[in-house]
Amino acid sequence: MNERAGERGADPGPPGGDAFLTVTDLHAGYGEARVLHGVNLTVGRGEICAILGPNGAGKTTLLRALSGMVRVRGAVRLDGADLTRRPPDAVARRGVAHVPEGRGTFMPLTVEENLRLGAFVRRGRGEVEADLERIHGYFPVLRERLRQPAGSLSGGEQQMLAIGRALMLRPRLLLLDEPSLGLAPIVTRELFRIVQTINEQERTTVVVVEQNAHLALDVAGRAHVLETGRIVLSGSAERIRADEQVAQSYLGYRV
């Protein structure tokens, strides 16, 4: 672990010590380019956890590493099970749903087709209809747009569709990469409110990468700050908000 992590505080772990996700000494990159240099973090069961950090820090790469999309060294454990070096479909079967940067919806397909695709690794087909209803409950606007191509939706609606599709997996862990990207503040706030409701009603653990640190720290119980491939600060949202360097770099004011 690097010095700043030591100075400013390594991950003290979730309250009660009930770590649902444990990442240990995780290294990842693309070919010769190394991006993550030994990431250590924990996420508590049922927690909303924010990952903050500047552009290029490796936030997207970290989520890709968690969902099996890039090669890694180190360990990723979910509820005690080793997910390290498993392919993405195996990770999805373990209950990890990833809403990627840029949303990953299939534009020519309809809203309904996109939602049904989200259930692809599920076995019990009978429950899919009930899940569609459940998702319309969270995102009523999607019900009105079922037959429309995803490409015809507004940016906010597309992000709702991407999250809805991820929920079709009945995830235990939901990974969200920059859900606010390109959205108006009011739409972003609404999205985060829905994510909070999902977290409360379904006890889904959420890891959200977010540029809007104010908003992320409002909904998250804890947060980790990633800089140049290393976690430099971990703690409760209050503690992160009170950190002078975080305030200057991400919140736009001095503590």
Ligand X SMILES: Nc1ncnc2c1ncn2[C@@H]1O[C@H](COP(=O)(O)OP(=O)(O)OP(=O)(O)O)[C@@H](O)[C@H]1O
Contact between 53 and ligand X (CB under 6 A)?
yes
Site string for Mg ion, 63-92 (x = CB under 5 A): ------------------------------
First-last CA distance in the chain: 26
Q: Does 61 bind Mg ion (CB under 5 A)?
A: no
Regarding beta strands 173-177 and 72-78, do their DSSP bridges make them parallel or antiparallel, or are they unpaired? Answer: unpaired
Other beta carbons within 10 Å of 158: 22
Distances (CA, A) of 193 to 35, 47, 105, 175, 200: 32, 15, 21, 16, 11
Q: What are phi and psi of 43, to 5 degrees?
A: -130, 130
Which residue of 59, 103, 116, 165 would you call a contact of ligand X, by CB under 6 A?
Answer: 59
- Give the residue among 195, 166, 183, 169 at the shortest CA–CA distance from 99: 166
Per-residue binding letters, 72-111, with ligand X (x by CB under 6 A):
-----------------------------x----------
58 makes contact, choosing from ligand X, Mg ion, none, with CB < 5 to 8 Å by partner type, with: ligand X
Based on the shown chain and the rule CB under 6 A, indicate whether residue 57 belongs to the binding site for ligand X: yes
Q: Does 35 bind ligand X (CB under 6 A)?
A: yes
> Tokens 């919806």 belong to which residue?
105
| Residue 30 in contact with ligand X, rule: CB under 6 A | yes
Among the listed ranges 56-64, 140-148, 164-172, 234-242, the one in contact with ligand X (CB under 6 A) is: 56-64
H-type helices in the chain, by residue range?
A: 3-8, 59-66, 88-93, 111-117, 127-138, 140-144, 155-167, 185-202, 213-219, 237-242, 244-246
Residue 25 touches which member of Mg ion, ligand X, none, C-beta under 5-8 Å by kind: none
Stretch that binds ligand X, among 2-10, 58-66, 92-100, 153-161 (CB under 6 A): 58-66
**Residues at the interface with ligand X (CB under 6 A):** 30, 33, 35, 53, 55-61, 101
